[in-house]
């Protein structure tokens, strides 16, 4: 283990430890997240998912950072994605249970998504959570993962600079250069059904205050997955 690994581990512990040691700190975090959900979504994913990409870089190169990696542009992209994920949680968290209701599933209240606010386990809550996991990952995830890949290619090809990031993005060129076969084989066919659908199903089974923190932690795993997917594409060339 390198010294940089110890620093990274220490940073993660320092970030997470207050949530477990101080109920008042967690309560403050919960209130801020409720009052400013999109700002919080931006910050969470800008930090945690970018760290996940750094972990992916560590896996493939042995370093958490290298010239041209573009920490700031990547953080900006992840921040924007964090906002859209927050929106998607609202859209699918409310909409997926409503679809179940339209299919004849009976809910105890007039608002199907109220099932997520009930404490304890129930098979209905599991079914509703599973419906969110499926719809969220089938309709939303492929779009934002494609957006991430396009911006990732742009960051790489402009040297990871902030100035280069704000140059026009030749999306058509990047789309043509993408390894769609690898994208399907790893990102869509494997990580979505085997990890993301179960992970988001579990997330919506948790109380809402824990769901917020778990979603942020998923950002680290997401950054690793997409970074490794990019590595597989490079190797396949």
* Alpha carbon distance 91, 149 (integer Å): 23
What pLDDT sits at residue 109?
A: 94
CA atoms lying within 13 Å on the CB side of residue 146: 17
Query: By residue range, what is the domain housing residue 112?
Result: 38-236
Confirm whether 12 is domain-assigned: no
Tell the residue number behind the tokens 């969470």, with chain if given: 44
Confirm whether 23 is domain-assigned: no
H helical segments located in the chain: 3-21, 23-35, 37-61, 71-102, 123-135, 141-157, 162-165, 171-177, 180-182, 197-205, 208-236
Rounded mean pLDDT of the chain?
A: 87
**Angle, nearest 10°, between helix axes 208-236 and 71-102?**
120
Q: Are 51 and 57 in contact (CB under 8 A)?
A: no
Confirm whether 87 is domain-assigned: yes
List the one residue out of 40, 42, 72 whose CA is nearest residue 54.
72
- The count of structural domains within the chain is 1
Q: What is the mean pLDDT of residues 180-208?
A: 89
Tens of pLDDT along 87-129?
999 999 999 999 999 999 999 999 999 999 998 899 999 999 9
Whole-prediction pTM: 0.88
Confirm whether 13 is domain-assigned: no
């Amino acid at each position: 283990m390198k010294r940089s690994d110890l620093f990274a581990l220490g940073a993660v512990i320092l970030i997470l430890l207050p949530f477990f040691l101080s109920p008042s700190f967690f309560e403050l975090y919960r209130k801020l997240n409720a009052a400013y959900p999109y700002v919080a979504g931006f910050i969470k994913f800008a930090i945690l998912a970018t760290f996940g990409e750094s972990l992916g870089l560590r896996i493939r190169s042995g370093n958490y950072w290298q010239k041209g990696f573009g920490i700031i542009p990547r953080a900006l992209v992840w921040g924007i994605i964090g906002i859209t994920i927050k929106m998607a949680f609202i859209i699918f968290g409310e909409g997926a249970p409503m679809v179940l209701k339209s299919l004849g599933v009976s809910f105890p209240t007039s608002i199907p998504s109220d099932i997520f606010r009930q404490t304890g386990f129930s098979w209905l809550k599991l079914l509703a959570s599973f419906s969110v996991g499926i719809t969220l990952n089938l309709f939303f995830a492929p779009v934002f993962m494609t957006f991430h890949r396009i911006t990732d290619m742009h960051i790489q090809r402009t040297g990871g600079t902030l100035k280069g990031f704000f140059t026009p993005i030749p999306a058509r060129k990047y789309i043509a250069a993408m390894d769609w076969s690898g994208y399907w084989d790893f990102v869509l066919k494997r990580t979505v059904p085997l990890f993301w659908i179960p992970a988001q199903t579990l997330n919506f089974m948790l109380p809402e205050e824990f769901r917020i923190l778990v979603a942020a932690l998923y950002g680290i795993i997401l950054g690793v997955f997409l970074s490794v997917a990019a590595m597989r594409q490079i190797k396949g060339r």
